[in-house]
Amino acid sequence: MTRVILTRHGETQWNIEGRVQGAMDSPLTANGIYQARVLAKRLLDEKISVLYSSDLPRARATADEIRKVLNLPEVKVEPAMRELSFGDWEGQEWNRLRGAYPDLFKLWEHNPDQVKIPGGESMQHVTERAWSFFLSLADKHPEQTLCIVTHGMTLQLLIKRALGIPIEDWTNVPWQYNTAVNILDITTEGEVIPVLIADHKHLNLENK
C-alpha cells in the first residue's frame, strides 16, 4: 500500500489581497512560511520518503520548507499537480470580478464546474490530469509514504474524486485551508482509502 499526504501551499500575498492566483503566482507571506514549517513538524512522524510539489513557485517554496525540516534530499516537481488555470481572471481581485460578472458569479456560487472562465481551464481537465498522476504513485512508490504540495482547487477536485463526490456537487466538499492535511491510501489493487480529510489542527485557528 502507498500512503499519499496531500496538502495545500502556505498563505500567499494574493491570498491576503483576495486575488485570483491560478497558474500565476505570488510569494508566500511570513505567515505562509510559518504555516509550512509548522506543517513540516507535524509530518515528522509520518515517515515520508518522497516529496512532490506542483511546479508553481508558491507550492515549491512550501515544499522546500517541508524538505528542510524532514531532511529529504529533494523536491520532485510535478506539473500535473499545478492549480487550475483561471485564464483572464488571474491577478484580479475576486470582489471586482463579482461586480463585473454578476450573472457568472451567481452560477459560480452554486455550480462552479459549469462556469466557462475566459481563457481558463475546465475543472474536468484538472481532475483528470491530477487524478491520473495520483493513481500512478502506487506503482512508482510501492509501500512508501509520500507528501504532495498542491493548490486549493486542484486539492478539492482530487478529494472530491477520492470521496466519490460528483464534480458538480459542492455541498459536501470540506474547505482546504492553507497547509491542510489530507491522507489517502492506495492499495496494490488501486483502491483509494481516505484516512484524513482537510485537517488543519496544526494551524490552531480556533485561538486566532
The pLDDT of residue 208 is above 50 = no
Distance, in Å, from the CA atom of 179 to the CA atom of 130, rounded to the nearest integer, reads 18
Length of the chain measured in residues: 208
Q: Which of 123-127, 132-136, 172-176, 192-196 has the lowest mean pLDDT?
A: 172-176
Give the position of cell 491542510: 180
Mean of pLDDT over the chain: 93
Residues 6+ apart with CB under 8 A from 26: 12, 13, 14, 15, 19, 58
Nearest in space to 92 (alpha carbons), one of 19, 13, 18, 17: 19
What pLDDT score was predicted for residue 207?
Answer: 41
Distance, in Å, from the CA atom of 79 to the CA atom of 86, rounded to the nearest integer, reads 16
Mean pLDDT for 42-56 is: 97
SS3 150: strand
Distance, in Å, from the CA atom of 117 to the CA atom of 94, rounded to the nearest integer, reads 13
SS3 for 162-201 is: HHCCCCCCCCCCCCCCCCCEEEEEECCCCCEEEEEEEECH
The pLDDT of residue 185 is above 50 = yes
Q: Model confidence at 98, in pLDDT bands (50, 70, 90)? A: confident
The pLDDT of residue 206 is above 80 = no
Mean pLDDT for 70-82 is: 97
Mean pLDDT for 27-52 is: 97
Mean pLDDT for 187-208 is: 85
Show the cell assigned to 78: 510535478
Distance, in Å, from the CA atom of 205 to the CA atom of 35, rounded to the nearest integer, reads 11
What pLDDT score was predicted for residue 205?
Answer: 62
Interval 99-154: pLDDT, tens: 888 888 888 777 888 888 889 999 999 999 999 999 999 999 999 999 999 999 99
Overall pTM > 0.85: yes
Domain ranges of the chain: 2-85+122-207
Structurally, at CATH architecture level, domain 2-85+122-207 sits in: 3-Layer(aba) Sandwich (3.40)
- Angle between helix axes 123-140 and 152-163 (nearest 10 degrees) is 70
Helices (H) and strands (E) in the chain, counts: 7, 6
Contact, 50 vs 76, CB < 8 A?
yes
The pLDDT of residue 16 is above 90 = yes
Active site residues: 9, 151
Mean pLDDT for 152-160 is: 96
The pLDDT of residue 169 is above 90 = no
Contact, 87 vs 117, CB < 8 A?
yes
Mean pLDDT for 182-204 is: 94
Contact, 46 vs 129, CB < 8 A?
no
